[in-house]
């Protein structure tokens, strides 16, 4: 897709502080070819419920890294049924199991080269998803309060030939969880065990009191993002 083929619509200023439902409705009406990416974190669950309310069912991309917690994989299937989503699962190119990946790249690649591991399991599959689905825009559940690196996250984020949409950018953890509990949405039981943000099992740890929401991700690896929001 060339840059010339995409006319980037301008987000009305008033929507920068609007309810996520209004932001999603605007995207639905102005940006054809939109997809959603989620690993079924709390923010993603809110977005899926709002999309259901709006009667909008864009493709929902889930990156199966082959190293998710069993609880995450179970939630993906629960969410498929609960929200009635058009779930598209993308795995690392050429691999169906963690054992197959280890046979080619060695055991515990995340310990030896975490960047290569994330490229294989997340960045390449996400690029492939965007290209195969012809995505002009993609919706993510990122919020400004999740980490210092996301503190100035815009609602609508032009990224090269595509738009990224962050409808919950203005929401906090308390608003997100209040919505989930009020609506009775399914969520990952690991959240009740000290994991506010859940990634791959080998790279996710419980979070201590006073630490930010994503501090349990890539602990000791000097990373705060997997690469899909910095390289794509």
The phi and psi torsions of 206 (rounded to 5 degrees) equal -60, 160
Residues sharing a CB contact under 8 Å with residue 112, sequence separation 6 or more, in sequence order: 106
For the chain, which domains are there? 3-192 (3.40.50.620)
Is there a catalytic annotation at residue 226? yes
What local confidence, expressed as pLDDT, does residue 232 receive?
73
**Residues 34, 8 contacting (CB under 8 angstroms):** no
pLDDT band at 4 (very low <50, low <70, confident <90, very high): very low
What does DSSP say about strands 34-37 and 59-63: parallel, antiparallel, or unpaired?
parallel
Is the per-residue pLDDT at 1 higher than 50?
A: no
Range of lowest pLDDT (119-123, 150-154, 187-191): 150-154
Among 63, 61, 60, 58, CA closest to 27 = 58
Most confident of 9-18, 145-154, 191-200, 212-221: 191-200
**222 pLDDT higher than 70:** no
DSSP string computed for 151-207: TT--SEEEETTEEEE-TTTT--HHHHHHHHHHHT----GGGGGT-SS--BGGGB---
| Catalytically annotated residue among 24, 226, 228, 232 | 226
Hunting for tokens 């309310």 — which residue is that?
53
Confidence of residue 15 (pLDDT cuts 50, 70, 90): confident
Distances (CA, A) of 132 to 34, 83, 127, 128, 136: 13, 23, 9, 6, 11
Cα gap 185→145, rounded to integer Å? 22
- DSSP assignment, residue 216? T
Q: Which two tokens stand for residue 115?
A: 């960047």
């Amino acid at each position: 897709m060339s840059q010339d083929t995409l006319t980037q619509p301008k987000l009305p200023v008033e929507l920068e502080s609007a309810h996520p439902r209004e932001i999603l409705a605007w995207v639905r009406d102005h940006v054809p070819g939109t997809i959603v990416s989620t690993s079924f974190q709390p923010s993603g669950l809110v977005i899926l419920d709002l999309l259901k309310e709006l009667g909008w069912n864009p493709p929902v991309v889930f990156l199966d890294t082959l190293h998710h917690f069993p609880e995450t994989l179970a939630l993906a299937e629960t969410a498929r049924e609960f929200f009635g989503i058009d779930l598209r699962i993308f795995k690392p190119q050429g691999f169906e199991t963690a054992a197959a990946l280890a046979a080619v790249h060695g055991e515990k690649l995340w310990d030896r080269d975490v960047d290569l591991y994330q490229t294989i399991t997340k960045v390449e599959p996400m690029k492939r998803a965007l290209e195969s689905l012809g995505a002009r825009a993609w919706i993510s559940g990122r919020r400004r309060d999740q980490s210092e690196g996301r503190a100035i996250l815009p609602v609508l984020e032009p990224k090269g030939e595509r738009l990224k949409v962050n409808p919950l950018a203005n929401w906090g953890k308390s608003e997100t969880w209040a919505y989930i509990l009020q609506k009775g949405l399914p969520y990952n039981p690991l959240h009740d065990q000290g994991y506010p943000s859940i990634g791959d099992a080998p790279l996710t740890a419980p979070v201590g009191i006073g630490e930010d929401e994503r501090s349990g991700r890539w602990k000791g690896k000097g990373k705060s993002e997997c690469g899909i929001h910095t390289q794509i």
